Structure 1
């Protein structure tokens, strides 16, 4: 059961959120329930009654596949329930299925009246969020059509047409509007069974189903040596979760590829930054994920200028949406490009893929896309004009366009949000790494020595400027950002740990940053907080100003290994592994920032996605970091 207290079923780009009894009530807000596909809710009601009342829960539904629950009508100790209801529910591509089995507990023949109330509101996911926004829909209309074997719901708006069909076997005795009713005869100690299917038909869905997933393989190739058994269990759980989070996308030549979606419930779609970091964490274990992610993002790379959605030539997309509001440009997220870091991360992953696999064919295929991405960093991205990658708050989309993209996340120590154009520190590290890796590809794969030299010179200049402008001597720590006036945004934040991963810091500075991040105001004992405690804006339940994110910590862990900070890496890996073990080996998207001295177990963040892709992949990054340290200690070349 996920942190919202709901049951979550997910497969092939489709997910259902259910109550403990297997019901859907049509709730909105922070934890909506329903059947979801392509950013729309295709079931908003699925409520069972038996003989006119909702049965009580004996065994609640669970996240297992399929989910099973056990219900009974009212009864007493002297008059126990006459029958028991066994529900089995599952999702697959575009479908929600239920097998309902009624088992008699009586020696006499019984008749039970079973009724299922169903509904489909086709609400866009952006409508369901708790932000009080409303979206006009002129001409929209809902349709309900009774069928012999069930009911069909439709939704139309101009060219937009979505449907959900609900069918059953045996067919209902009556279908009245949105209610299916059966009168079931149960022989003495006998049973009866209903099979019900809801099939979603979203507007614009591909005719072909999602390519079949490869056989689930949670094995970890290569030697795991003396790795913590709990860490290995978390890795296997992460791989299993990533199998569930596969969604379909299109490559540059129109080919179908499968990529890791960001997470559930709000982000079951391709996200640039999330999918790239997830693929990087997986690279030593599942390199094909990186290949598909790079192909999908290359196909969606910016080609022109569109200020509404932030598109610029060469820019890598932040997210891709398929819902109604995106299609009618009521939100900019159909293809939204408001990310300062997806473009350099695209180049980092492309270079890392060639280096890790030894296969340069993908780099050869995507050379033009890489060149366009570099051009974006140098021009619209700001490297030439500002000296750094910068972003400006987006009135239509995101105020902050780094991974800490909530409003107010990039702040001074007094809590004031920085104003743009903003240069966040970790994006400069990504840009440095992107230039270095792309220079290597230019020299060895594309055989363009002159361009390689240009990129190496640009990388060296960026590194020199960064040390000059970002380092805060008084804090002996990098600034979180530079604001539009070039002032150091002086909050002490975990973003500095990403600089270790990218290698932009010299060895002495990197060592000081790594050690500082493991001090108690940063390190909760479970994970490194996004913002060090004791500062005015710190809040342990803030999304980006005091919480702790497993993926953030995974990036830092790779950086600690790079700078040879073995003790700090062991402490961090131990905290995250203990956190995973206390969450049934599934790391959540984000944790509250409370420390071990405040509570004996990690405190959940109330709106955390689970499963979530880069959290699922974080244990793999930890394993890679620990293996690199082990290889170095043994005198072997690390990864």
Structure 2
């Protein structure tokens, strides 16, 4: 094709080509995800996220449908609301014969439908002839597999790679293969039904003569195989689709469903719920929300915990799966190149050739300072939401190991604060949620030397010890409970003395290795409200700052204020807006009674969703001030979907409703609920409290919110507080 060039066996698309359109469609199921252009194609360009990936490797780097030698014309492309099916509608361009138009454009309709299921991509290509004449149809499907590791697809260069295996043409398709340096054999099976009219080394030819007003269908399966036969290479399209739908419905059965008077708000939450179900993968320990597509489709400790907390009131089963997985992968020994220490909770776990070979440290990597206290926080929150005492009893040894890590390895210098300093030379320099290299700095812009004590991490540790104290008392460890509560109270006092900046009206971003404050106005301080460590009067001042024009863009709270020397609205962590960050800040404001602030943040993120494709909140967007009638400015490489961004709307709604579920006491409370002007009514259906299910509605009145119960359950108390 004229708009593709080849250089050193790599393919590149000219910037002027229609194939350079950066809009993509995403599917994910289990350990497999696909990133396709709007035609449903994959082009062999580098670096590019396009492709079909399985367990950290790209199994399909080329997948292009042509009519003759021409690309079809795009009519539309959409992903079904539940994220299970990609549908692309195409038509033919003018088809020439001997220099004349033999078939005018818009006579053939091509419909491509695609979904993923158990390590395979299933596609149906249906062509309908709306013309009045017989039309010779010559389709070709170009196929290629580069077996790039996910990090290679991101642009990482490797000194050596494995060996491509000879392509095996079959009667009904192709088998491509690669033997990696990790000695794993990866194969891509491409199978077509009915059998193609011809099979080349890199393409399938689909040829027929179409009579007027008739259609023809081909089903193409692309199955990914690692060392063992691909289980779904021979399963039929319709059967696989039915199985995937049944599994999805079963996974949604335990959810609380939200219905409101605002259809656009409903679309936002429905898309968020669909994204979350797509991001959840089943592990041996239970469901786990992978962080984001394309670059973070893997288990991340911090992301999984925060997503589970955002979703806790909707479905506590996700939190149970996250806790069980992180307990099973909790570090048991000191491994410097993994930043691992006994009791520490996982940062991320990758599959793929580079992880297996140790070319990247992320096969099992522990370079996070906050996942360990967040793990303890989630355990306590899960018990309160579920009443699952047996699970907490089984988890208690892991909680104790996490607490020992906090006290010993988390504070090696005995400063009284949990700090981080990387051990792995290839690991992360900064190990809080703002983990880019320039995220932690002093007011003059100079980098903060380590070890670093982040303000929000001390807040998480405070809440973790409070939570662990409650769990210890539940399990009969009375002395331990008292000890943990004393430690939490002492930490709170130290924190207020060391981190509060009176002239800034907020808490310092961090303390550096010399104990000096990073006097930066940052969104991190909002997490201190969420975890409850902040003094009430100082919490109020922090909330006011975060809602000031310097911090609040109109679309949400920025990561740092516009007055800071490193502020850049286009940066990753120094001036951008992150949905999950905003959800935690809003929850913190609501915790301290500042409900109007929570409403303002909810409104900002909801308004942003109205401008975004599919109402899908991405990982982040730029922090430029909101301009009337214009959309948020997108961050070019933000993941979408992203699990904790998708979960943000649910935590924001919970915060505004003041919703608290106490399953052991079988009590549902709404504390001083508020609703924004654009939500007249909110209904919560199938809200689970143990085995019971309740339906409630909240209606906005001129000066209050009114609660009604449409389906109650005996023994469940539903109350309005305040």
The two structures have a TM-score, normalised by structure 2, of 0.82
Identify which of 114, 118, 121 aligns with 1:93: 118
Q: Do the aligned partners of 1:67 and 1:90 also contact (CA within 8 Å) in 2?
A: no
Matches within 5 A, 1:109-188: 109-130=134-155, 133-137=156-160, 139-157=162-180, 158-188=182-212
Q: Do the aligned partners of 1:4 and 1:607 also contact (CA within 8 Å) in 2?
A: no
Identify which of 615, 618, 621 aligns with 2:645: 615
Q: Using the TM superposition, give the Cα deviation of residue 418 of structure 1 relative to its aligned residue in structure 2, in angstroms.
A: 1.4
Q: Do the aligned partners of 2:103 and 2:135 also contact (CA within 8 Å) in 1?
A: no
Cα deviations by residue, 1:92-115 (Å, 9 ceiling, x for unpaired): 221112222232344333322221
Identify which of 504, 519, 531 aligns with 1:502: 531
Rounded Cα–Cα distance in structure 1 between residues aligned with 2:170 and 2:445: 58
Identify which of 28, 46, 55 aligns with 2:63: 46
Q: Aligned pair in 2 of structure 1 residues 98, 559: CA closer, same or farther (>3 Å)?
A: same
Structure 1 position 27 matched with structure 2 position 45: yes
Q: Report what 1:191 is aligned to.
A: 215
Q: Report what 1:570 is aligned to.
A: 599
Q: Aligned pair in 2 of structure 1 residues 165, 345: CA closer, same or farther (>3 Å)?
A: same
Q: Using the TM superposition, give the Cα deviation of residue 506 of structure 1 relative to its aligned residue in structure 2, in angstroms.
A: 1.2
Rounded Cα–Cα distance in structure 1 between residues aligned with 2:224 and 2:408: 44
Q: Using the TM superposition, give the Cα deviation of residue 70 of structure 1 relative to its aligned residue in structure 2, in angstroms.
A: 1.3
Structure 1 position 399 matched with structure 2 position 429: yes
Q: Do the aligned partners of 1:218 and 1:240 also contact (CA within 8 Å) in 2?
A: no
Provide structure 1 residue ranges, at least 5 long, that are not aligned to the other structure: 252-256
Q: Using the TM superposition, give the Cα deviation of residue 419 of structure 1 relative to its aligned residue in structure 2, in angstroms.
A: 1.6
Matches within 5 A, 1:295-306: 295-306=324-335
Rounded Cα–Cα distance in structure 2 between residues aligned with 1:221 and 1:60: 30
Q: Secondary structure at the match of 1:111?
A: strand
Rounded Cα–Cα distance in structure 1 between residues aligned with 2:540 and 2:605: 21
Q: Report what 1:588 is aligned to.
A: 618
Q: Report what 1:254 is aligned to.
A: none
Rounded Cα–Cα distance in structure 2 between residues aligned with 1:193 and 1:222: 37
Identify which of 24, 35, 57 aligns with 1:17: 35
Rounded Cα–Cα distance in structure 2 between residues aligned with 1:127 and 1:271: 20
Q: Aligned pair in 2 of structure 1 residues 267, 202: CA closer, same or farther (>3 Å)?
A: farther
Q: Using the TM superposition, give the Cα deviation of residue 384 of structure 1 relative to its aligned residue in structure 2, in angstroms.
A: 6.9
Matches within 5 A, 1:426-575: 426-444=456-474, 446-575=475-604
Q: Report what 1:283 is aligned to.
A: 312
Q: Do the aligned partners of 1:38 and 1:202 also contact (CA within 8 Å) in 2?
A: no
Identify which of 63, 71, 74 aligns with 2:91: 71
Q: Secondary structure at the match of 2:484?
A: helix
Rounded Cα–Cα distance in structure 2 between residues aligned with 1:228 and 1:57: 32
Identify which of 645, 652, 656 aligns with 1:626: 656
Q: Aligned pair in 2 of structure 1 residues 342, 206: CA closer, same or farther (>3 Å)?
A: farther
Rounded Cα–Cα distance in structure 1 between residues aligned with 2:629 and 2:496: 38
Rounded Cα–Cα distance in structure 2 between residues aligned with 1:61 and 1:113: 26
Rounded Cα–Cα distance in structure 2 between residues aligned with 1:536 and 1:205: 56
Q: Secondary structure at the match of 1:101?
A: strand
How many equivalent residue pairs?
627
The 10-residue stretch of structure 1 (340-349 or 264-273) with the greater mean CA deviation from structure 2: 264-273
Rounded Cα–Cα distance in structure 2 between residues aligned with 1:205 and 1:539: 50
Identify which of 281, 284, 299 aligns with 1:250: 284
Q: Aligned pair in 2 of structure 1 residues 425, 207: CA closer, same or farther (>3 Å)?
A: farther
Q: Secondary structure at the match of 1:320?
A: coil
Identify which of 264, 272, 276 aligns with 1:238: 272
The 10-residue stretch of structure 1 (314-323 or 405-414) with the greater mean CA deviation from structure 2: 405-414
Q: Secondary structure at the match of 2:458?
A: helix
Q: Do the aligned partners of 2:509 and 2:519 also contact (CA within 8 Å) in 1?
A: yes
Rounded Cα–Cα distance in structure 2 between residues aligned with 1:495 and 1:328: 36
Cα deviations by residue, 1:514-548 (Å, 9 ceiling, x for unpaired): 11110001001110000101222111111100000
Q: Aligned pair in 2 of structure 1 residues 267, 220: CA closer, same or farther (>3 Å)?
A: same
Rounded Cα–Cα distance in structure 2 between residues aligned with 1:519 and 1:206: 56
Q: Using the TM superposition, give the Cα deviation of residue 631 of structure 1 relative to its aligned residue in structure 2, in angstroms.
A: 2.3
Q: Aligned pair in 2 of structure 1 residues 599, 471: CA closer, same or farther (>3 Å)?
A: farther
The two structures have a TM-score, normalised by structure 1, of 0.92
Q: Aligned pair in 2 of structure 1 residues 154, 206: CA closer, same or farther (>3 Å)?
A: closer
Rounded Cα–Cα distance in structure 1 between residues aligned with 2:110 and 2:580: 41
Rounded Cα–Cα distance in structure 1 between residues aligned with 2:208 and 2:102: 25
Matches within 5 A, 1:56-67: 56-60=73-77, 62=79, 65-67=85-87
Q: Using the TM superposition, give the Cα deviation of residue 349 of structure 1 relative to its aligned residue in structure 2, in angstroms.
A: 0.3
The 10-residue stretch of structure 1 (66-75 or 538-547) with the greater mean CA deviation from structure 2: 66-75
Identify which of 16, 21, 26 aligns with 1:8: 26
Q: Using the TM superposition, give the Cα deviation of residue 183 of structure 1 relative to its aligned residue in structure 2, in angstroms.
A: 2.2
Structure 1 position 367 matched with structure 2 position 407: no
Provide structure 2 residue ranges, at least 5 long, that are not aligned to the other structure: 1-20, 233-242, 660-669, 674-703, 706-718
Q: Using the TM superposition, give the Cα deviation of residue 331 of structure 1 relative to its aligned residue in structure 2, in angstroms.
A: 0.6
Q: Aligned pair in 2 of structure 1 residues 315, 236: CA closer, same or farther (>3 Å)?
A: same
Q: Using the TM superposition, give the Cα deviation of residue 138 of structure 1 relative to its aligned residue in structure 2, in angstroms.
A: 5.7
Q: Using the TM superposition, give the Cα deviation of residue 20 of structure 1 relative to its aligned residue in structure 2, in angstroms.
A: 1.9
Q: Using the TM superposition, give the Cα deviation of residue 216 of structure 1 relative to its aligned residue in structure 2, in angstroms.
A: 5.8
Rounded Cα–Cα distance in structure 2 between residues aligned with 1:249 and 1:601: 38
Q: Do the aligned partners of 2:256 and 2:315 also contact (CA within 8 Å) in 1?
A: no
Q: Using the TM superposition, give the Cα deviation of residue 166 of structure 1 relative to its aligned residue in structure 2, in angstroms.
A: 0.2
Two-structure CA RMSD over aligned residues (Å):
2.7
Rounded Cα–Cα distance in structure 2 between residues aligned with 1:495 and 1:352: 21
Q: Do the aligned partners of 1:9 and 1:63 also contact (CA within 8 Å) in 2?
A: no
Rounded Cα–Cα distance in structure 1 between residues aligned with 2:483 and 2:173: 66
Q: Using the TM superposition, give the Cα deviation of residue 206 of structure 1 relative to its aligned residue in structure 2, in angstroms.
A: 11
Identify which of 445, 453, 460 aligns with 1:415: 445
Q: Do the aligned partners of 1:7 and 1:63 also contact (CA within 8 Å) in 2?
A: no
Rounded Cα–Cα distance in structure 2 between residues aligned with 1:230 and 1:57: 27
Q: Which has the higher strand share?
A: 2
